[in-house]
Amino acid sequence: MDFQMPLLAAGQETALVTRWLKAPGDHCAAGEPLVEVETEKVNSELEAPSDGILEEILVPEGQAAPVGAVIARLST
């Protein structure tokens, strides 16, 4: 399952990945914080959409990604 950068604030085009809270291979439960991101207006924890395993991180810490970009892959 693709995990995408969401739209968090009006006018937002990108968000910065500040910290991954899980590493590839880690299990995550639905609703559990997975990654911290930052925009010009808001800092937020993004939650896992379902139970699964974080398979791959595509956007590392310190890198920005546009809204809608796949930032990680999860298996369910």
**What are the chain's domains?**
2-75 (2.40.50.100)
pLDDT digits (tens, 9 = 90+) for 36-53: 999 988 899 999 999 999
What burial class does residue 58 get, using C-beta atoms within 10 Å of its C-beta: 0-12 exposed, 13-18 middle, 19+ buried? middle
**Residue numbers of the chain with a pLDDT score lower than 50:** none
Alpha helices in 1-73 (DSSP H): none
